[in-house]
Amino acid sequence: MAEMKDAHVVEIPVDEEHQQKLISAMNTLSAIQHHPLMEISESPGHLLLLKLWQREEDLFGRRIAMKETRMDSIKREIFQSCCFFFLFHVFFLTMLFISSMNSGKNKCHQWWVPAFLSVSTSLVLIFLVQVKLCRYWKVANQLQRERSDGRAVTRCIQELRMKGASFDLSKEPSNGRRMKSSSVEIKWKPITWCSQNLITLFLVCFAGLVFPANKFILCY
* pLDDT on residue 5: 47
* pLDDT on residue 165: 72
* pLDDT on residue 173: 76
* pLDDT on residue 19: 53
* pLDDT on residue 17: 56
Domain boundaries, the chain: 16-171+181-219
d(CA 12, CA 149): 61
* pLDDT on residue 175: 59
Contact 111, 213 (CB under 8 A): no
pLDDT along the chain (220 residues), means of 10: 46 51 48 58 76 89 95 96 95 87 68 88 95 95 92 86 74 59 54 89 93 82
Question: Can you spell out the DSSP letters for 37-96?
Answer: HHHHHH-HHHHHHHHHHHHHHHHHHHHHHHHHHHHHHHHHHHHHHHHHHHHHHHHHHHHH
Instruction: Decide: pTM greater than 0.75.
Output: no
* pLDDT on residue 100: 77
